[in-house]
Chains A and B, each alone.
Chain A
Amino acid sequence: MSAFLELDHVTKTFGGGGLFGGGSVTVAVDDVSLTIDESEPSITTVAGESGSGKTTLARLLLGSTVPSGGRMLYRGKDFTRLTRRERRTFRREVQPIFQDPFESYNPFYKVDHVLDAPIKNFKLASSSAEKARMIEDALEMVGLVPEETLGRFPHQLSGGQRQRVMVARALLLKPRVILADEPVSMVDASLRATILDSIRRLNRELGISVVYITHDLTTAYQISDNIMVMYRGTVVEAGTVDAVIPSPQHPYTQLLIESIPQPDPKNRWGSEPPQQNWEITDIKITGCKFADRCPAVMDRCHTVRPSQYLIGKQQLATCLLHEDKGVADPDVTRTFQTEQQAIAAAAANFAASNV
């Protein structure tokens, strides 16, 4: 069985060429392999700071940018070789949800417009009654009351409502994968819960795989099954959230988790961590990219590029500290497998109990 979406040793670089040549090269995504399976829908978090390449990874998965190296496969076929028809299906099956619920709307149109347009574009409804029913179902799925939402202008809705309308829009297209790029970072804390909850329901109840891109490990821990942590384009740690969050193995993940401001005044931050040195361009780094900031740095870290080492069954870390352990499969999602099977079994149970 071929996977739904597959990244096979994908690299994406920016810069370098140009009129004057020799510009500095930024490696936004560095040799990343992963698979998104349709049969085992899960929520996977891609976490990292700005500049870690997480948004570039999302753009690759959306097909809005092409890899500089490696291949992206959609249902087993190279993405660059898709026919128009296949590409159109891809556009329906993979849906984005963006960060800013203010900029995704045209302020001159009522919110109905963002829901009408995809139905029209993909000819999903045969009558206007069917269209109305589809829209109402989608809104109810994300916890909105259709009568209170439809017919309004974007500015009449709160940020949380607007973002949920966006989730409903994605839902209308019956996608297989939803890519949510920081969907709650611009929404008030008290409203985040409802949005994340509606995203989780899409996964659990409709079997849609979700790639949740965020810098917020707390919400990642709450909603996702798996996590991959990126640093300067490299996946430095991956695994199930239950393995990674309580016991991070890469020094960067450790720093990241330690730095999260915990809502607990009894448990305050330790000393100030060192600043990142952005002046070294990626190309010049021969060893580990985190070496200059790493508290556990060894001499070899500056010269040897670490591989992905397997820790336990459901966790890998790209760090020489774990060199004694086995080398993991380059496809980081293989680490999640066991968890995925558990979910598939749970989903089958759920389906059986509902018959």
Chain B
Amino acid sequence: MVESTIEETRLSTEQAIRTYRTGARITDVDALVVDGLSVYYETESGTVKACDDVSFTLKQGERFALVGESGSGKTTLAMALMRLTRPPGHIARGSVILNNRDLVKLTDDEMRRTRLSELALVPQGAMNSLNPVMRIENQIIDGILDHLPDGEDAPTKDQLDRTIRDLLNRVGLRPEVARMFPHELSGGMKQRVAMAIGISLRPSLIIADEPTSALDVVVQRQIMQTLGRLQEGLDASIMLVGHDMGLVAQFADTIGVMYAGKLVEVGPVEEVFSDPKHPYTKLLIQSLPSLREKKEFVGIPGLPPQLIHLPVGCSFEERCPSRFDRCPVTIPEKIELGGRRSVACHLYEGETVS
């Protein structure tokens, strides 16, 4: 297992679907199906619906970006997929189907073996996720041995050495890094180590939670491009979580926009950027500063609602320029617009395409 090189994996089903990224190999195979996932936090003052009734599908080889402001529930969702939600948070409803198994129903031990071998997390601020008193090689070995899938023999020391060298090489680090401690590395190098750990058991889904939020633009670009290369080599899918719309435009195939715990819009990146449907997405895209022309700053007036006191109707209603009488009364349902696009907004009712 660990020895075989990553590029050996090739797509079995060459049933590619339409994409805008050159060189992308996205198949029509569902890698991850999230259905009605809700994560609630029970607090003394009530239930906080951090993530409410979220459904989406990721194809094999697809790069899916989940965007939203802080507090919109995007990290909560990512953590729930990893089953790392901590009390008082809990998964209230829904299913997460990865490789034909519902992760929500797995026992803790089964889940531990699934992590890293089937889905891996490249955490936010990976520079702080490494153990400061352990050499890099030992941290990589730790991950491999702890998450080895059922029925596989532990690799020998030789195999591990080779694997570590191979992994470091893949993420663009010199072999000497194996013997180093985290404080000897720069932020970008630490992020690369976190990626090496993430891909060590060749997962089919990589969840990257703001993987470059503390890095400089040039390093950010290098890291994202390395991540993209690794993902392509593994034929894995990626879920990128973040708020940087620029990064999403550069990296992703599909975008999902979250607002106040709900997924309000999903669609191919190019189409969502050129023709956003949900009023929040529209404002979000308008508010992006450009390098090409100087223009007035447009922010989105108002603040998101508190998740503990969500309005009866649509959560964006108060800030929405296109609201009408139905908005404060009923919560908009997800509407399929065809071409892998969907939106949760009353404006599009009656446009359903099945």
Which 6 A-B residue pairs are closest in the complex by CB-CB distance? A261-B246, A193-B297, A49-B216, A193-B299, A190-B300, A259-B221
Judged by a CB distance under 8 angstroms, whether A256 is at the interface is yes
Kindly provide the distance from the CB of A88 to the nearest chain B CB, expressed in whole angstroms: 35
Query: Contacts A215-B217, A265-B270 given: A50-B299 contact, CB under 8 Å?
Result: no
Contacts of B273 in A (CB 8 A): 263-265
Q: Which of chain B's residues has its CB closest to A257's CB?
A: B291
Q: Would you give 17 A-B contacts (Cβ < 8 Å), ordered by A?
A: A49-B217, A189-B69, A193-B289, A197-B299, A218-B246, A218-B290, A219-B289, A260-B217, A260-B291, A262-B250, A265-B20, A265-B249, A269-B221, A271-B225, A275-B172, A275-B222, A276-B218
Instruction: Give the number of residues in B that approach A within 8 Å (Cβ atoms).
Output: 46
Do B225 and A189 touch (CB < 8 A)? no
Among B186, B216, B225, the one with the most A-chain Cβ atoms within 10 Å of its Cβ is B216
Judged by a CB distance under 8 angstroms, whether A245 is at the interface is yes
Query: 0/1 per residue, A129-165, Cβ < 8 Å to B?
Result: 0000000000000000000000000000011000000
Judged by a CB distance under 8 angstroms, whether A272 is at the interface is yes
Interface residues of B in 245-297 (CB under 8 A from A): 245-251, 269-270, 273, 283-285, 287-291, 294-295, 297
Judged by a CB distance under 8 angstroms, whether B303 is at the interface is yes
Judged by a CB distance under 8 angstroms, whether B226 is at the interface is yes
Judged by a CB distance under 8 angstroms, whether B154 is at the interface is no
Judged by a CB distance under 8 angstroms, whether A194 is at the interface is yes
**Contact check: which of A188, A216, A263, A269 meets B69 at CB < 8 Å?**
A188
Do A49 and B219 touch (CB < 8 A)? yes
Contacts of A215 in B (CB 8 A): 216-217
Query: Contacts A259-B218, A273-B221 given: A266-B246 contact, CB under 8 Å?
Result: no
Do B222 and A190 touch (CB < 8 A)? no
Judged by a CB distance under 8 angstroms, whether B243 is at the interface is yes
Do B219 and A194 touch (CB < 8 A)? no
* Bound Cα distance from A255 to B216, whole angstroms: 12
Among B21, B225, B297, B298, the one with the most A-chain Cβ atoms within 10 Å of its Cβ is B297
Query: Contacts A188-B69, A219-B289, A272-B222 given: A261-B270 contact, CB under 8 Å?
Result: no
Do A272 and B299 touch (CB < 8 A)? no
Do A49 and B289 touch (CB < 8 A)? no
Query: 0/1 per residue, A196-227, Cβ < 8 Å to B?
Result: 11000000000000000001111101100000
Judged by a CB distance under 8 angstroms, whether A117 is at the interface is no
Q: Which of chain A's residues has its CB closest to B216's CB?
A: A49
Query: Contacts A159-B70, A197-B297 given: A189-B243 contact, CB under 8 Å?
Result: yes
Do A50 and B303 touch (CB < 8 A)? no
Instruction: Using CB atoms and an 8 Å cutoff, list the residues of chain B in contact with chain A.
Output: 20-21, 69-70, 172, 186-188, 216-222, 224-226, 229, 243-251, 269-270, 273, 283-285, 287-291, 294-295, 297-300, 303
* Bound Cα distance from A320 to B224, whole angstroms: 31
Instruction: Give the number of residues in A that approach B within 8 Å (Cβ atoms).
Output: 40
Instruction: Using CB atoms and an 8 Å cutoff, list the residues of chain A in contact with chain B.
Output: 49-50, 158-159, 188-194, 196-197, 215-219, 221-222, 245, 255-257, 259-266, 268-269, 271-273, 275-276, 278
Kindly provide the distance from the CB of B302 to the nearest chain A CB, expressed in whole angstroms: 10
* Bound Cα distance from A260 to B245, whole angstroms: 11
Task: Give the A-B pair count, Cβ closer than 8 A.
Answer: 120
Query: Contacts A50-B216, A193-B298, A262-B250 given: A217-B221 contact, CB under 8 Å?
Result: no
Q: Which of chain A's residues has its CB closest to B290's CB?
A: A218
Kindly provide the distance from the CB of A43 to the nearest chain B CB, expressed in whole angstroms: 13
Kindly provide the distance from the CB of B268 to the nearest chain A CB, expressed in whole angstroms: 9
Q: Which of chain A's residues has its CB closest to B20's CB?
A: A265
* Bound Cα distance from A273 to B225, whole angstroms: 9
Contacts of A261 in B (CB 8 A): 217, 220-221, 224, 244, 246-247, 249-251
Do A222 and B297 touch (CB < 8 A)? yes
Task: Given contacts A262-B291, A269-B221, list 5 more A-B pairs with CB under 8 A.
Answer: A188-B69, A260-B217, A264-B249, A264-B273, A265-B249
**Contact check: which of A188, A217, A219 meets B70 at CB < 8 Å?**
A188
Do A222 and B287 touch (CB < 8 A)? no
Do B299 and A222 touch (CB < 8 A)? no
Do B288 and A189 touch (CB < 8 A)? yes
* Bound Cα distance from A261 to B221, whole angstroms: 8
Do A259 and B220 touch (CB < 8 A)? yes
Kindly provide the distance from the CB of A85 to the nearest chain B CB, expressed in whole angstroms: 40
Contacts of A191 in B (CB 8 A): 299
